[in-house]
Structure 1
Amino acid sequence: MSGNPLFGLFAAWIGWAGGFLILYALQATGCRAGWDSHMIGAVSTLRLLLVATALTIVFVLLGLSWKARRNGPASPLARIGALANGAAILATLCFAGVLWLGMCA
């Protein structure tokens, strides 16, 4: 990020890991609280919350990546950091399961 290319290397991956924990905690809480049986139209409240959270995580990671590219120096480490951020954003594809997988067992 600004001034520290090493932080730019790991920022998106730390954000991805935090987002994964948030999604997992939200899913467990929602299942325990019965949010999967509360419907808004044809979609459960839990699924809507998980989709909104996953999209928010993607936008935060895109913002981190954009800021790292905008403020980072043109060093080789900064370029590697930009690639690492892109890989973290691609890794959010695993969050797409909130669209079709069963919420609670």
Structure 2
Amino acid sequence: MSTTETMMLARLIAQAEAEGAALVTLRALVEEASATGAEAACRRLGLDDARARGDLGELRELLGAWRDAKSSAWKAAAAWVTRLLLALILVGVAVKTGLLGKLA
């Protein structure tokens, strides 16, 4: 939290105490406290520099690509399992009808 923000928050608290906590003062206090808390949370997460927005954009792109790749892998695996089952059924039909004996 910067000194300007700290001073603003301290002034708002003093004003709330002196005025008997008027609604406008309390709203301003809540707004400043919220902004200060959000900035502190971003700082703790390492998202307080100028590159943070770009970094988050890149992470979202990577996550989207990962989800697409995972979905494609599952679809490909399902397609191969389906082909394998159909091939086994075809071999089973060939054995049952005696086609394999005629081919050999």
**What is the TM-score when the length of structure 2 is the normalising length?**
0.32
**Going by fraction, where is helix more abundant, 1 or 2?**
2
**What is the TM-score when the length of structure 1 is the normalising length?**
0.31
Q: Which has the higher contact order (CA 8 A, sep 6+)?
A: 1
Instruction: Point out the structure with max Rg over C-alpha.
Output: 2
